[in-house]
Amino acid sequence: MAKHDLIGGSIWDEYSQKVQDLMNSPRNMGQITEEEAKERGGKLIVADFGAESCGDAVRLYWLVDEKTDIIMDAKFKSFGCGTAIASSDTMAELCIGKTVDEAVKITNIDVEKAMRDDPETPAVPPQKMHCSVMAYDVIKAAAASYKGVDPDHFEDEIIVCECARISLGTIRDVIRMNDLKTVEEITQYTKAGAFCKSCIKPGGHEKREYYLVDILAETRAQMEAEKLKAIADAKISGNDSDLAFEELTVVGQLKAVEAVIDAEIRPMLMMDGGNMEILDIKKNDKGIIDIYIRYLGACSGCASGSGGTLYAIENVLQENLSQNIRVLPI
């Protein structure tokens, strides 16, 4: 939340002038009949996508020159909001003059960009991006009908966010490469989930096959399993000392700290009748590894426990294990 989010506005204020004009006067609204197709010497293709019960439905008519595969004319009918009407009209306009194979490459992003008044300003508010997704789907349906193939034939990857057209593979890679931990971070890096938000989690505007929350959880789980396996493999091969302290499990870190304390610190404490124990190890949000300790024997209550002794313990652990270590006596 910030200043601009505190007072809601009308979504209509964010429609480009082109969108508004197309809502009022769509150029390609209508239908092509069999008789007209015969007269004009083309093949008629009629494709439907969506349903009234879903809130959006579009029908696309193509008149295709079978010799060249060029779409001679395109018309649409649309049940949907104003942006769905404008998007469908733009989609039909973009099809005209293209071959069927070229038309299949038209995406909802192309449709939205074609409706902008200027290249830098989105034509519709984020939550309305999904209205143009139908355009992409109905083109695939029309092309599939023309070529006699399944619409999935044109999909070479699984799209998670239809609005931004971000694939499952891309999202997984970005999570891994950047060690992302939240859905908000995924949106920042990829724009997935920035628009109608249906792909973030179940219960949104549209039901989806894949959700960002699940992809994040699965990928993080895989990354964790891989990390543990790497540690186990390193142990087996005797190379665990090669792992950075931060990469060790909490148990591994505990063992490493104990080993350093046994070797470098405890003997000195015991010479003065004191000792210490490790209570817990926690990594905080800033990446600092906090090691909670308790002094025993003569060290308990000793003034040096929060001064020189503490500094010495922290220094030894930082030099031997990690500069990110902080020691906190309880």
Partner 1 sequence: MRVYLDNNATTMVDPEAFELMKPFYCEKYGNPNSLHRFGSETHPALRRAMDQLYTAFNARDKDDIIVTSCATESNNWVIKGVFFDHMLNKDKDHIIISSVEHPATGAACEFLKQFGIRVSHIPVDENGLLDPNDLRNLIDEKTALVSVMWANNETGTIFPVKELAAIAHEYGALFHTDATQTVGKIKINVQDINMDFMSFSAHKFHGPKGIGGLYIKNSQPLTSLLHGGEHMGGRRSGTLDVAGIVGMAQALENSNKLMEFENLHVRKLRDKLEDALLEIPEISVVGDRAHRLPNTILAAVKGVEGEAMLWDLNQAGIAASTGSACASETLESNPIMEAIGADKELAHTALRLSLSRFNTEEEIDYAIVHIKKAVERLRAISSTFAYTPDWHVSGL
Q: For binding to partner 1 (CB under 8 A), which residues are involved?
A: 8, 11-12, 23-24, 26, 29, 48, 51-53, 55-59, 76-82, 84-85, 127, 130-131, 196-198, 204-205
Cα(49)–Cα(275) distance, integer angstroms: 74
**Closest to partner 1 by CB, 52 or 209:** 52
161 a catalytic residue: no
**Closest to partner 1 by CB, 35 or 120:** 35
Cα(233)–Cα(231) distance, integer angstroms: 5
**Closest to partner 1 by CB, 11 or 298:** 11
**Burial (CB count within 10 angstroms: exposed 0-12, middle 13-18, buried 19+), residue 312:** middle
**Closest to partner 1 by CB, 79 or 189:** 79
Rounded to the nearest whole angstrom, what is the least distance from the CB of residue 297 to partner 1 in the complex? 46
**Encoded tokens for 49:** 């996508």
Rounded to the nearest whole angstrom, what is the least distance from the CB of residue 87 to partner 1 in the complex? 12
Element of type H or E holding 43: strand 43-51
User: Of 95, 131, 161, 196, which one is the catalytic site residue?
Assistant: 131
Residue matched to tokens 């890096």: 189
- The Cβ of residue 254 has, within 10 Å, a number of other Cβ atoms equal to 15
Q: Which residues of 59-81 are buried (b: 16+ CB within 10 A; e: fewer)?
A: bbbbbbeeeebbbbbbbbbbbbe
199 a catalytic residue: no
E strand segments, the chain: 43-51, 56-65, 70-79, 159-161, 166-167, 274-283, 289-297, 325-329
**Encoded tokens for 46:** 């009629």
Phi, psi of 159 (to 5 degrees): -95, 125
**Closest to partner 1 by CB, 58 or 327:** 58
E strand segments, 91-149: none
Q: Which residues are catalytic?
A: 54, 131
